Amino acid sequence: MANVMIQYNEQGELCLYLPKKDLEEAITHFEFDEEQRWGGEVHLISGAIYYIDPMPSRPKLPITVRAKRLQAA
């Protein structure tokens, strides 16, 4: 489990920031990005996959959440 920050970059695309590794990666696929459900699998451009426990509503970004790494880059 690691703390990650989900945010928009300058182009308005979602990206994930991992403070521990100082890594900023664009998100290619975000499983649930809906008003009632937000989270799930997060696929990064580097090939890594993280999992965020789905939340009942879409939070205000940027937000720091706990995420589990399902697949390393």
Which residues form the interface with other proteins (CB under 8 A)?
A: 5, 7, 10, 17, 19, 22-26, 45-46, 62-64
Q: What residues have CB less than 8 Å from 11, skipping those under 6 apart?
A: none
Q: In whole angstroms, what is the distance from residue 40 CA to residue 52 CA?
A: 5
CB of 66 to other proteins, least distance (A): 15
Residue closer to other proteins (CB basis): 24 or 41 = 24
The single-letter code of the amino acid at 58 is R
Residue written as token pair 């664009």:
26
User: For residues 64, 15, 71 and 47, what is the CA-based torsion angle, rounded to 10 degrees?
Assistant: -170
CB of 48 to other proteins, least distance (A): 11
CB of 4 to other proteins, least distance (A): 12
Residue closer to other proteins (CB basis): 22 or 35 = 22
